[in-house]
Structure 1
Amino acid sequence: MRLAGKRAFVTGGRQGIGLGIVMAFLAEGANVTTCGRGPRPDDLPRDVDWWSLDVSNADDVGQISAKIGAIDLLVNNAGVQVEKTVVDSTDADWGLVMGVNARGVFNVCRAFIPSMNSGGSIINIGSISGTVADPSMALYNASKAFVHGLTRSIAVDHGPDIRCNAICPGWIETGMLDAGFDLANDPQKARSDALARHAARRFGKPADIASMAVWLASDEASFATGQLFTVDGGMTAASPLNPGLF
């Protein structure tokens, strides 16, 4: 029970990585509140508090923050993706992706940091896409690079009272992964090729990211701040050569 007695707020806890983190925090003894667009999911445990919230709306985020009060743990997981190049992206695409992925993280941090308990931990969900660009994902890549930079700034500006780190997932088995492969001329071949590039020889699962989040939230990570933790099964450690061909 590494998080016993801690109060946590996790954005985007409806499904995927966010739900995985909610469940892991709950199992470690935290009191968890989460949010997402739309009504409360039917499969969310009853002891998890739910708020319907669009994190890109600063006023709504501020109101929720005031109602929730002081917390110990903050996880910025809410995110969206649009599969387009720069020239194909519209103003609406910009507003959606940057609004949730960049402005949303900023809004939540700005609202919650002033009332966070001393020794608190912020965990931002970045991506390997913020360091190496996935094709036809221009806005998503850029939004995650913003998250990485903001993470470092928060750690520098608000330490030692608050630690702030980012987890940079690789290819995790969620709907976003499927949407990325659907861009390929041969999605099945693209999936097989990508799998061969993972030293772990598998794609990640939400639980893999949740395990890292639990550690960063716990006192075991008290000296870790301002860092980007890549969890990608070894994919970005490899050269461009496909190891499956050797």
Structure 2
Amino acid sequence: MQKTAIVTGGGRGIGRAIVTRLVTDGMNVVTCGRGERPSDLPQQVIWKQADVSRVAEANALVEAATEAFGAVHVLVNNAGVQVEKTTADSTDADYDLVMDVNCRGTFNMCRAVLPSMTAQGGAIVNMGSISGEVADSCMALYNASKAFVHGLTRSIAVDHGPQVRCNAIRPGWIMTAMAEDGFALANNPKAAMQDALARHPVGRFGQPEDIAKMVSWLVSDQAPYVSGECFTVDGGMTAASPLNPGLF
């Protein structure tokens, strides 16, 4: 049986890598973003312009996937935004932006697919972050929003198993535009990047494909006993003490 997957925020970066991997795995894929369809998106992938923080648009995305391919078997909540500010500096508009996309958007999509997944079975992967476990400086709202995603993931697994498996991935430094924005906050971005690289036991930063491979496994028949977990994929960065002499 050919499975159908929805990937939010699949226009670029990690989302695009996930779309590409699931297509390679033989799935029908529907993805979305708030802009127009990327010109280089594979033709077999359905693109919907949607803001998943809006209930009606999240529901419409699920309906479009169902109409095109039938039941949705896989949901990957990848869409996310960040604001580089402290709590004191964050405005109401900043709060609404980050919480609407990262929290409400993930919630809306999960709620939209759960009725059908509960009936037929399915797998959800939510994109968390190591920032939901250890706080990045000047990223207060982003840090908090990813902690929400981790908590929601566990609740869905508990409340909707055994029909639905739900897991989260906590990426570390994956080389995307968002990561570059994070390094740009430093007084010396180049030095900050070199320091961060030294803290990775695997000797490199992550690539979007590293996360896509983890998604592929989590939604496959190779992970039937895996649910309610948040998997850190960060090249060992958060496992290492900053005083470890072997990393400098």
Q: Do Structure 1 and Structure 2 share a fold, with TM-score over 0.5?
A: yes
Q: 1:85 and 1:234 mapped to 2: Cα distance?
A: 27
- The answer (yes or no) to whether the contact 2:201–2:247 under 8 Å persists in 1 is no
Q: Note the 1:111-190 alignment, pairs <5 A.
A: 111-116=112-117, 118-190=120-192
Cα distance per residue 1:66-87 (max 9 Å; x no partner): 2322200000000000000000
Partner of 1:221, secondary structure, is coil
Structure 1 residue 197, shift from structure 2 partner: 0.3
Residue 43 of structure 1: aligned partner: 40
Amino acid of the structure 1 residue aligned with 2:39: D
Aligned AA (1:227): E
Percent identity among equivalent residues? 64
Count of residues in Structure 1 that have an aligned counterpart in Structure 2: 243
Aligned with residue 11 of structure 2, among 14, 39, 45: 14
Secondary structure at the residue paired with 1:220? coil
1:63 deviates by: 2.4
Q: CA deviation at 1:118?
A: 2.6
Task: Give the Cα–Cα distance (whole angstroms) in 2 for the partners of residues 127 and 243 of structure 1.
Answer: 26
Root-mean-square deviation over aligned CA pairs: 1.2
- Per-residue CA deviation, residues 37-70 of structure 1 (Å, 9 max, x unaligned), is 1110001000000100001111211222223222
Which has the higher mean CA deviation after the structures are superposed, 108-117 or 169-178?
108-117
Answer whether contact 1:193 1:242 (CA < 8 A) is retained. Answer: no
1:172 is paired with a residue of what secondary structure? Answer: coil
SS at match of 2:30: strand
**Pairwise CA distance, 1:201:** 1.2
Structure 1 unmatched ranges of 5 or more: none
Pick aligned residue for 2:24 from 27, 39, 52: 27
1:241 deviation in Å? 1.7
Partner residue in 2 for 1:211: 213
- Residue of structure 2 equivalent to 1:106: 107
* Segments ≥4 residues shifted beyond 6 Å: none
For structure 2, the 5+ residue unaligned runs are: none
Structure 1 equivalent of residue 62 of structure 2: 65
TM-score, normalising length from structure 2?
0.95
Contact 1:197 1:244 in 2 (8 A): no
SS of structure 1 residue aligned to 2:126? strand
Residue 214 of structure 1 aligns with an amino acid whose one-letter code is S
Distance change in 2, residues 1:245/1:76 (3 Å): closer
C-alpha change, 1:245 and 1:205, in structure 2 (3 Å) is: closer
Instruction: Say if 1:218 and 1:245 are closer, same or farther in 2 by CA, change over 3 A.
Output: closer
Preserved CA contact (<8 Å) 1:56 1:99: yes
Which digits, 9 at most, give the CA deviation of each residue in 1:119-165, with x for residues without a partner? 31000010000000010000000000000000000000000000000
| Aligned counterparts of 1:185 and 1:39: Cα–Cα separation in 2 | 35
Q: TM-score, normalised by structure 1?
A: 0.96
Does the residue aligned with 2:200 lie in a helix, a strand or coil?
coil
Instruction: Tell me by how many angstroms 1:89 deviates.
Output: 0.4
Counterpart residue identity of residue 127, structure 1: S
SS of corresponding position for 1:207: helix
